[in-house]
Amino acid sequence: MHVLVTGAAGMIGRKLIQRIADEPQLFGHPVTRLTEHDIVRPETPETANFAVETVGGDLAEPAIASKTLADRPDLIFHLAAVVSGEAEADFEKGYAANLDGTRNLLEAVRAAGDRYQPRFVFSSSIAVFGAPLPDRIPDDFFCTPLTSYGTQKAVGELLLSDYTRRGILDGIGIRLPTICVRPGAPNKAATGFFSNIIREPLAGKEAVLPVDESVRHWFASPRSAVGFLVHAATLDTASVGPRRNLNMPGVSATVAEQIEALRAVAGDRVVELIRRERDPQIERLVGGWARDFAPERALELGFRADRSFEEIVRVHVEDEHGGEVGSR
Are 9 and 134 within one domain?
yes
Are 170 and 264 within one domain?
no
Are 134 and 17 within one domain?
yes
pTM of the model: 0.95
| 24-28, 44-48, 57-61: least confident range | 44-48
**DSSP string across 101-149:** HHHHHHHHHHHT-TT---EEEEEEEGGG--SS--SSEETTPPP---SHH
Would you give the DSSP letter of residue 204? T
Q: What is the pLDDT of residue 104?
A: 98
Q: Has residue 184 been placed in a domain?
A: no
Tens of pLDDT along 258-299?
999 999 999 999 999 999 999 998 888 888 889 999 999 999
Confidence at 326, pLDDT banded by 50, 70, 90? low
CATH for 57: 3.40.50.720
Residue range of the domain that includes 207? 192-218+251-292+300-320
CATH for 304: 3.90.25.10
Are 75 and 139 within one domain?
yes
Q: Has residue 172 been placed in a domain?
A: yes
Are 7 and 137 within one domain?
yes
For residue 232, the one-letter residue type is: A
How far is it, in rounded angstroms, from Cα 90 to Cα 86? 6
Q: Has residue 182 been placed in a domain?
A: no
Q: Has residue 186 been placed in a domain?
A: no
Phi, psi of 149 (to 5 degrees): -60, -50
- Total tally of structural domains belonging to the chain: 2
- Among 210, 232, 247, the domain-final residue is 247
Percent of the chain at pLDDT exceeding 70: 99
**Residue 238 clears pLDDT 70, i.e. is over it:** yes
Residues marked active site are found at: 149
Beta bridge mates, 266: none
Are 156 and 100 within one domain?
yes
